Amino acid sequence: MKSTNDLQRVAVIGGGVIGGGWVARCLLNGITVNLYDPDPNAARKIDAIMVNARMAFAKLVDGLVPPEGKLRFADSIASAVDGADLIIEAVPERLDIKQSVYHDIEAAAADTLIASSTSGILPSDLQAHMAQPDRLLVAHPFNPVYLLPLVELVGGAKTSQSAIDKASQMFRQLGMHPLHVRTEIPAFIADRFLEAVWREALWLVNDGVATTAEIDDAIRYGFGLRWAQMGLFETYRVAGGEAGMAHFIAQFGPCLQWPWTKLTDVPDLTDELVNRIADQSDAQSAAYSIRQLEQIRDDNLVAILRQLEQRNWGAGQTVRSWQEQLNASAIRSMPDPTPLIRSYETTVPQDWVDYNGHMTEHRYLECFSHATDEIMRQAGVDDAYIAAGGSFFTVETHICHIDEVMAGAPIYVDTQILSVAGKKMRLFHRLYDKSGTLLATGEHMLLHVDMTQRRASQPTALVAAKLAKMAAGHATLAMPDAAGRAVGMTR
């Protein structure tokens, strides 16, 4: 297989809900995608998925991100897999169709890793007729693929360990949490839980115990919230109190013998039951279209993920690591600096606006703060530098508010380094919308400090040299008209 660890081009075979989600996640990570799907409506469906994916991505991710990857619609499997670093198969859940796809892939791509998105077919069955079965594994994602970070990696009898290792690295690059399912088992891990809950829910509707809405409420108002941040076993460990898991099992284990569930059986899906479920579901969700429900789902998931990220907990740890990875990738993908440094980009989140729909004034300062952090990072004032006790503190700020901006608007900051002298650094930021309209300017004086001594100090020689080089690149630029302004001066 290819030895490179840098994921630059992905082939996706199949552009349905899951395949389209893979396309979105890859493109938003700045990765080129070759998509093959014979459906004449494939382009329309992908466009619809990308609308929601871009909105969710903008709300979830802060700071610099790489340019969106390029999407190419291929006219054949051979064309799609040409030059790909990873091939993702997302065709319908039929073994014969998938094996036919692998036959075509192997005829066109000799060594590339192949990841199947199947939710239940065993990888040993998938690879049964392959010439190079060692390069195939299951990479089972969860909908929406562009938001949920979990991907279950399952090897077959002939899958190599190097394929598992390489897949783990690649999916981490996509901002995901690869979970290696070490034993090949039908439905893997997560779907076995979903199947158990689904089976029990069908019985509750079948027996007239609960409606679809009541079952969903039992989940979303109760244990679903606990599972979202702590899973199953850790939740029950807490329920065991100070005595822990052993006490919990001793106390509640006998309940498993009670006739509560029907997990070993399933009701007959008669027309009457199917119609009852469909009618209840329609009544439950009739106020929203499917696209509206997708957007509501995405917004709720973003809110949960962002809270977990702030706490660096659970899936939030993966999102935080992904953000750092995206920021670094964005810097690498930047061309050589123009006279001004593109120091921050984002899309105005909904919670940044006031009752008039305009971005609140303290968010302008937040944008400039992120921009200042990026200049510091480029100068070498990174996490390790700060942990060692060095940093720049802002000691003076002047912001001119020039124009309004609304939620959902792409904005960016260009920064000019006015001067660097010893302990002092003077920056001038300009905030624009995507049309190039100037929204605000911010002038900032920063002072380098030794945080262990709590006093001003000289930066390290390396940081000083980087800042001097950056400042020299701006030395020929004109001083901005707003630089050195006092409050109330005529513009």
- The partner residues of 391 in beta bridges, in order of sequence, read 449
Tokens (6 digits) for 246: 């052993």
pLDDT in tens, 20-60: 999 999 999 999 999 999 999 999 999 999 999 999 998 89
Look at the block and give the residue holding tokens 């049964």.
128
For the chain, the farthest-separated pair of C-alpha atoms sits apart, in whole angstroms, at 81
For residue 310, the SS3 value is helix
Task: Say whether domain 191-287 belongs to CATH 1.10.1040.10.
Answer: yes
Pick from 397, 391, 383, 394: which is nearest to 454 by CA?
A: 391
Output the CATH code of domain 9-188.
3.40.50.720
**Contact (Cβ atoms closer than 8 angstroms) between residue 407 and residue 349:** yes
For residue 1, the SS3 value is coil
CB contact set of 394 (below 8 Å; sequence gap of 6+)? 369, 372, 444, 445, 446
Q: CA 283 to CA 276: how far, in whole Å?
A: 11
Looking at the chain, how many residues does it have?
Answer: 491
Pick from 11, 5, 6, 17: which is nearest to 42 by CA?
A: 17
Look at the block and give the residue holding tokens 């394929």.
163
Q: How are beta strands 410-421 and 424-433 bridged, if at all?
A: antiparallel
For residue 320, the SS3 value is helix
Same fold, 191-287 and 335-473: no
CB-count exposure of residue 245 (10 Å: 0-12, 13-18, 19+) = middle
Task: Give the per-residue pLDDT at 260.
Answer: 63
Task: Give the per-residue pLDDT at 491.
Answer: 61
The distance in angstroms from the start CA to the end CA of the chain is: 62
Pick from 74, 67, 66, 65: which is nearest to 46 by CA?
A: 74
Task: Give the per-residue pLDDT at 255.
Answer: 66
Q: What stretches in the chain show pLDDT beneath 50?
A: 1-5, 335-337
Q: CA 83 to CA 111: how far, in whole Å?
A: 11
Phi, psi of 326 (to 5 degrees): -65, -40
The one-character DSSP state at 291 is H
Look at the block and give the residue holding tokens 């807490």.
238
Q: CA 425 to CA 56: how far, in whole Å?
A: 36
Written as one string, the DSSP assignment of 161-198 is HHHHHHHHHHHHHTT-EEEEE-S--TTTTHHHHHHHHH
User: How many helical (H) and strand (E) elements, i.e. helices and strands, does the chain have?
Assistant: 17, 14
The one-character DSSP state at 286 is T
Q: CA 197 to CA 350: how far, in whole Å?
A: 34
Task: Give the per-residue pLDDT at 343.
Answer: 93
The one-character DSSP state at 4 is -
- The partner residues of 35 in beta bridges, in order of sequence, read 12, 73
Q: Phi-psi bin for 335: left (phi > 0), alpha (psi -120 to 50), beta? A: beta
Q: CA 311 to CA 52: how far, in whole Å?
A: 26
Domain ranges within the chain, ordered by starting residue: 9-188, 191-287, 335-473
pLDDT in tens, 328-368: 787 666 544 457 899 999 999 988 998 888 899 999 999 99
Look at the block and give the residue holding tokens 């969903």.
216
Q: Where are the alpha helices (DSSP H) in 67-223?
A: 77-81, 95-108, 123-126, 161-173, 190-206, 212-218
Output the CATH code of domain 335-473.
3.10.129.10
Q: Which amino acid is at 398?
A: H
